[in-house]
Chain A
Amino acid sequence: MLRRLLNFFSSLWLTVVLLALALVLVFIGTLAQVKLGLYVAQEEYFRSFFVWWQPAGTNFKLPVFPAGWLLGTLLLVNLLVAHIKRFKLSWKKSGILLIHSGLIFLLVGQFLTEVYQVESVMRISEGGSKNFSEDSRKNELAIIDVTEAASNKVISIPESFLRQGEEIRHPELPFAIRVKTYFENSTPTGKMDDTPGKISSTHGIGKRLQFAPMKITATMDDDNKPTALVEIVGGNETTGEWIVSTWLNRYPWFESLNAQMGSLLEGELEKPQSFTYAGRNYEIALRAIRYYKPYTVTLLEATHDKYQGTEIPKNFSSQVRIDNPKKGEQREVLIYMNNPLRYEGETYFQFQMNAEPGMKSSAFQVVRNPAAITPYVSCTLVGVGMIVQFLMHLVAFGRRRNKATPTRVVSEPNPVDVGGAR
């Protein structure tokens, strides 16, 4: 039994079948991006074990095709079992060994990347400084104790805890947070607008601005903008209701909202929402998860050049200064396309730029990836392996050709080559 299993997992048939399935998966996964958008298609087709299908009008899902993780794992098992079973150290096999170890490196490295890579964005206006970057997708409900002027205490609650009817308690908080409503995606509406399901609140911005639910989006150039109505409850008493929303702080949604409504709301949009509980002052916000750094980055100058007489971007570059008091380091760096800054285990890439005068800002994609080196190793191993392998083929081929007679046959006899089946 074990032997048969071993034979199965080491067979070349399995390799070819798995590769064929991978081919189909990549193809349909690419086509699916047209409808689902890059991100959702990735999650459904590549970052899962099965591609699920939900028949229309039903609640259950069926696995209809093996997805990325399953195929990757099976290919890895196939490769490892085959190598262990037939392992022989010889020159003849050295190329193949190199190629396959490179592939293992690549697969494992990509798995580690999926698990450990953290991507965030740091957006700085010209002249401004920051010591944190913000997650591009994940949000948190932040309760900030601002009583002490010297440093704030932040209690951060992941967005996934915000479910309707949920009551959130935290040992550091003297009160509970009751989630009365939660929209995964939302839009601000006016008082006159009678969109169904819209919410307002007794305190904070929600007194003047309402929010309505929206369909969840999946496209590349749009995010979900969650909004929640929360109640602060201490003991049996309520302190009041607040509306928290990424509309109130995330780029570019806040900017567009502020441009439309800012003057109408008399600057209230820009103020934090705050309350007092048991003699302590708090602020509350639904915002992007923040990653703090032990240093600050200052944007000195943002430059956006175009080719003369065209709209084709020629260059984006940002002159920044890093201040790291812990290391006593202060230096200037120029970050531009294809030339990122690598600092303290993170890489800063020139990502977006707003070149409008007066609003100049630059955004950096900040990536922490402990497995970043694996593709380089893998590429080298596979490349060298293939060259070794094919050179050996070529030498063998050349030898045989030299033995063959050099004459050319002009008319050829009917070939007879009766060989039995295997």
Chain B
Amino acid sequence: MKRALPWILLFVFALVALSGLRPAKPIEGFNVAEFGRLPALLNGRVQPLDSVGRNALLSMSGKSAVRTEDKQTLSSSEWLLEAMTRPEAADTRKIFRVQHPDLEGMFGTQKIGLEHHSFNDLTNHLGTIEEQARNIRRAEFEKKSDPQTRTPFQKDLMHLYNSVVRYHQIKNTLGPEGSRDFAREVDVFQQTIEPAVTALRQMNVGEEYDQSDIKLLAAFHKRYTNVSMYAYAMIVPPQTSEPRDGWKNIGASLMETILTHEVHPAVTNITAIYSAYAQNEPEQFNQALANYKVWLQSNNLLSEMKKGRQEFLFNRVEFFYKSIIIYVAALLLAGVYWINRSEALRKSGYLLLILAFVIQTIGLAFRMYLEDRPPVTNLYSSAIFVGWGSVFLGIILERIFRDGIGTFAAANVGFITLIIAHHLSLSGDTMEMLRAVLDTNFWLATHVVVITIGYSAMFLAGLLAIVYIFRGFFTKALAAETGKSLSRMVYGIICFAALFSFVGTILGGIWADQSWGRFWGWDPKENGALLIVIWCAIILHARWGKLVNDRQLMALAVFGNVITSFSWFGVNMLGIGLHSYGFMDAAFFWLSLFISSQMLIIAVALLPAKMWKSFGNGGQTSQPSAPPDKPTEASAV
């Protein structure tokens, strides 16, 4: 049993991970997944409707699915379809996150951030929300206040306001909100155009004309102008004669119909889909979807359809979410191993770590393929990649040292960085298009990747140092040999970090030199990278010169966490320079908390050896340790 345990666990978790590959079943006869795969254009890129719904839902509610009152779960595709076609049902879904107590107070409710509100809950307060938001905007426009220094209340209010606006936009994406039979409506609209235009001509030349057609057309005109202003995604693809990125929203397309008298064939299909779902007709819905797909195929939109299918699969499998679960399992196994020292547990943890790593790797590679980009393109993907790099190094350490430490540390970083990534994804589309200056795969693949690997190594070294400090200070379990091997691990990884940070920083300078003509400009992000390089240099020189003992080395490595987190996130919060991506105050709180915790650990590490449980009883003294391959001579040079 003990031998088989690791493999059994591996099998079980692999099954969990692969569960997303099951084909999606129709929901109440509706082929919702097929709808979610349809391509649309949003944020300047073609994406499946599922991503449109998912990213909107994430930013509004913080979740990628919706729990209904009767404890059912709506997938992002299903929720989007409902919001676009059945507003009465959608208005009852609790998707609006409100966190600030004052905001709850304003509504006279007392849920305080634990529950979400539905649109119906908010209808009586829409005026207040809008007025408050307008006040904030006006003050900022008049430079009385600054968007970067909004109070938590103002931020939460603006978030709610933006969510309500977005919800309204989504409702008008497939057609005007609440159109019972949009297909028929568009038919009537098209039949009105000819007579109305004739009547207008008659009016102009002073002949007798029928006013009712003109009035009807004017009403349609107004209705579709509204849709064209509010529609969220562009869902009408270009025809073969139009440029490839010439997508339009449905309102704009219908406005064109007034001039051409022709309804865009895609619009005909989309209206059929709308009507069928609004009227709860599964067969017609599936048929309309099938017809639309045939039209897309015959209009040379195969690559857009492929993009839709693939990204839908990527969303559905949720690689990074699955990795989080497995990292936690590996973390627990490695933790228990230290207590009972069962090799089966250590191996189980190790195998699960590898499994999670493989899944994360596939997710990362899939993302790269979808985006056609190197792994790191924004803060979100940097978090995923930092974790990936640390886990890779941790696996190597575990393979060499086989003591559970590598697994524990790697699973920890993997888990935390993916959680960070999840929170970063709440701000919107994580595969957004890159602005012109960043649009270069060469430099993204070299500078950004190399520097991010440097971050990974710094964090892993810092975490190993924490393991050393905790085990040494609080337990008697840190034997001399383990201590030495940990010290060697930390040293080796810092060497690695120094190499990558330095080369990455210089490559960044060279990129700057190539694209705006100056190698170094003391920009905050550059300075952040430089801080890491200097810190590595300090640690390495201090060790080569034997200026620090093992415990002090560990304290230095933990401070590396502080420097790296400042460089990674802190400088973005300064809001200056070419690199800054905007202020994030929740992140500021967590960063402060993280830095405080690290400082506390450093303080512990610097307590005298006799207070350490592992070294206390006349055990190991604070003799400086020589690096493994360095004899006694100080080697500065």
Contact = CB atoms under 8 A, between A and B. Distances in A.
Interface of A: 10-13, 15-16, 19-20, 22-23, 26-27, 29-31, 33-34, 37-38, 41-42, 45-46, 82-83, 85-88, 93, 96-97, 100, 106, 110, 113, 117, 119, 220, 306-310, 312-316, 336-338, 340, 347, 349, 351, 365-367, 369, 372, 375-376, 378-379, 382-383, 386-387, 389-390, 392-394, 396-397, 400-401, 408-422
A38 B619 contact: no
A41 B522 CA distance: 9
Contacts of A410: 341
Interface string B611-629: 0000001111101100111
B522 A93 contact: no
Contacts of B627: 393
Contact of B436 (A23, A85, A310, A316): A316
Nearest to A414: B619
Interface of B: 41-45, 234, 245-247, 341, 400, 402-403, 432-433, 435-437, 439-440, 443, 476-477, 479-482, 488, 492, 495-496, 498-499, 502-503, 506-507, 509-511, 513-524, 527-528, 530-531, 534-535, 537-538, 541-542, 544-547, 563, 571, 574-577, 617-621, 623-624, 627-629, 634-637
Contacts of A27: 527, 531
A312 B629 contact: no
Most buried by A among B44, B535, B627: B44
Contacts of A412: 477, 479, 481-482
B433 A16 contact: no
B545 A419 contact: no
Given A367-B517, A375-B513, A337 B522 contact: no
Given A309-B247, A412-B482, A93 B524 contact: no
A38 B538 contact: no
Contact of A26 (B437, B502, B516, B534): B534
A177 to B, nearest CB: 35
Contacts of A308: 41, 44, 234, 245-247
Given A42-B522, A314-B439, A349-B516, A12 B534 contact: no
Contacts of A340: 514-515, 517
Contacts of A376: 510
Given A86-B637, A397-B628, A382 B506 contact: yes
Contacts of B628: 393, 396-397, 400
Contacts of A375: 506, 509-510, 513, 519
Contact of A383 (B45, B440, B499): B499
A182 B498 CA distance: 51
30 contacts: A10-B636, A16-B545, A16-B547, A19-B534, A19-B541, A23-B534, A33-B577, A34-B575, A37-B576, A82-B637, A86-B637, A88-B637, A110-B519, A220-B577, A308-B44, A312-B432, A312-B435, A337-B439, A340-B514, A365-B517, A372-B513, A375-B519, A392-B629, A393-B629, A400-B628, A408-B403, A412-B479, A414-B619, A419-B621, A420-B623
B499 A387 contact: yes
B43 A310 contact: yes
Contacts of A23: 531, 534-535, 538, 563
Most buried by A among B513, B545, B563: B513
Contacts of B516: 349, 351, 365
A110 B437 CA distance: 24
Contacts of B488: 397
Nearest to B517: A367
Contacts of A45: 522
A251 B437 CA distance: 23
Given A88-B637, A412-B477, 4 more contacts: A308-B247, A338-B515, A390-B495, A394-B492
A383 B481 contact: no
B538 A314 contact: no
A82 B636 CA distance: 7
Contacts of A366: 517
Given A42-B522, A309-B234, A367-B517, A220 B576 contact: yes
A268 B63 CA distance: 62
Contacts of A83: 637
Nearest to A313: B436
Nearest to A401: B400
Contacts of A38: 521-523, 576-577
B537 A19 contact: yes
Contacts of A110: 519-520
A325 B299 CA distance: 52
Contacts of A387: 499
Contacts of A88: 637
A417 B513 contact: no
A385 to B, nearest CB: 9
Contact of A313 (B435, B440, B527, B577): B435
Contact of A367 (B476, B518, B537, B619): B518
B524 A30 contact: yes
Nearest to A413: B479
Contacts of A11: 636
A349 to B, nearest CB: 5
A220 B541 CA distance: 37
A415 B544 CA distance: 25
A415 B44 contact: no
B44 A312 contact: yes
A217 to B, nearest CB: 15
Given A38-B522, A42-B522, A412-B482, A422 B624 contact: yes
A79 B402 CA distance: 40
Q: Which 4 A-B pairs have the closest CB atoms?
A: A307-B44, A12-B545, A415-B480, A367-B517
A309 B481 CA distance: 62
Given A19-B537, A316-B436, A417 B620 contact: yes
Most buried by B among A11, A117, A417: A417
B619 A417 contact: yes
Given A23-B535, A110-B520, A96 B637 contact: yes
Given A110-B519, A382-B502, A309 B44 contact: yes
A390 B547 contact: no
Given A87-B637, A347-B517, A314 B522 contact: no
Nearest to A378: B506
Given A19-B538, A337-B436, A408-B402, A382 B503 contact: yes
B564 to A, nearest CB: 13
A13 B544 CA distance: 11
Nearest to A412: B479
Given A87-B637, A397-B492, A415 B542 contact: no
Contacts of B637: 82-83, 85-88, 93, 96-97, 100
Nearest to B498: A386
A26 B623 contact: no
A220 B578 CA distance: 10
Given A110-B520, A379-B507, A338 B541 contact: no
Contacts of B620: 415, 417
B571 A417 contact: no
Contacts of B479: 409, 412-413, 415
B437 A338 contact: yes
B574 A33 contact: yes
A80 B289 CA distance: 74
Contacts of A337: 436-437, 439-440, 515
A310 B477 CA distance: 58
B239 to A, nearest CB: 15
Contacts of A409: 479, 481
A338 B531 contact: no
Contacts of A382: 502-503, 506
Nearest to B544: A12
A401 B496 CA distance: 19
Nearest to A383: B503
A278 to B, nearest CB: 44
A336 to B, nearest CB: 8
A15 B541 contact: yes
Contact of B574 (A12, A31, A416): A31
